[in-house]
Amino acid sequence: MDGLLSGKIAIITGAGSGLGRAASLIFARHGAFVAAVDIGEAGVVETVRLVEAEGHRASAHLCNVADEAAVDALVADVVRAQGRLDILYNNAAVTVAPDPVKGMLGLVDTPTRELDRLQAVNIGGVLNGCRAAIRQFSAQGRDERGSGGVIVNTASIAGLIGYGGVIYGATKGAVVSLTRTLAIEVAPLGIRINSVCPGGMLTHYAGMDPDGPNADRIREGMKRNNPLGNDGNPDDTANVALFLASDLSANVTGTNIPVDGGLSAGVSTRR
């Protein structure tokens, strides 16, 4: 099929669930070969099965994005198998697990090891991916349309406004910031880097379960928070990631685009 990513080789992290799975399917439908990456085997194997069931191409890779050597080896494996890399989508992240009794923990109740874990995955994982991709992009040079390679990150509206816990928000604020700074650094190479900033999405994140007994209640809460009145559909964010990964956004770099129904735009008077 001819699509927005026809012939492109894309790595997508956190591809075993939620937004990463949605992006894997959408990128593949638009012609990309998707190297689907996750720390969990069952999810990423299922994502590849779903992509292939639609007649598209993908491969499954196990990798902890917080492990720099493992990320370097991942990029080398994909390039060895597919010949090049065009797109890296840094989507994997973790959050502080809510306490079963207290719910979301405040800063003083959150163990320091959680700060270390979130920094390692949410910031370190993005930096590891960016380094490995930029090295590969630099080695292979620009494509026939002048692109030096594309990086998309998943940040969050928690990186733009106060939302979702201090430590998580701090890590996502770092992704927003590094997206801007790195975009300037690598622009002379023709490499673009942008982020999507989702609002709430009903995935397996933070102990949620899209098929669980609380799913309808969570969806209703998301609709109430969202000025457009939508629930958090991962496909909406994956479609913006598709735009940022494609040549449609050839003159866009260093941006952090909210995909939140207007939640981060200001205070809603909606009842």
CB of 182 to ligand NAD, least distance (A): 17
Closest separation in Å from C-beta 203 to ligand NAD: 3
Instruction: Kindly state whether residue 200 participates in binding ligand NAD, applying the rule CB under 6 A.
Output: yes
Contact call for residue 27 and ligand NAD (CB under 6 A)? no
Distance linking the first and last C-alpha atoms of the chain? 44
Report, in Å, the least distance between residue 54 CB and ligand NAD: 19
Amino acid, res. 128: N
Q: Work out how close the CB of 181 gets to ligand NAD at its nearest, in angstroms, rounded to a whole number.
A: 19
Which residue is catalytic, options 89, 163, 168, 205?
A: 168
Element spanning 171, H or E: helix 166-186
Residue 151: burial class (beta carbons within 10 Å; 0-12, 13-18, 19+): buried
Binds ligand NAD (CB under 6 A): choice among 8, 9, 11, 17 = 17
* Residue 205 is a binding residue for ligand NAD (CB under 6 A): yes
**How far lies 270's CA from each of 61, 164, 199, 260, in Å?**
44, 21, 17, 15
Active site residue 89: no
| Residue 13 binds ligand NAD (CB under 6 A) | yes
Distances in Å between the alpha carbon of 214 and those of 19, 24, 102, 199, 236?
19, 26, 17, 18, 22
Instruction: Return the number of the residue (195 or 246) whose C-beta is nearest ligand NAD.
Output: 195
Q: How far is the CB of 197 from ligand NAD (least distance, A)?
A: 7
263 binds ligand NAD (CB under 6 A): no
State the DSSP H helix or E strand holding residue 163, giving kind and residue range, or none if neither.
none
Rank residues 13 and 256 by Cβ distance to ligand NAD and give the closer one: 13
| 257 touches ligand NAD by CB under 6 A | no
Full strand arrangement of the beta sheet holding 9-13: 58-62, 33-38, 9-13, 87-90, 150-154, 192-198, 256-259
Structure tokens at 59: 């491969």
Residues with a catalytic annotation lie at 168
Residues at the contact surface with ligand NAD, assessed by CB under 6 A: 13-14, 16-20, 38-40, 43, 63-66, 91-94, 121, 125, 154, 156, 198, 200-201, 203-205, 232
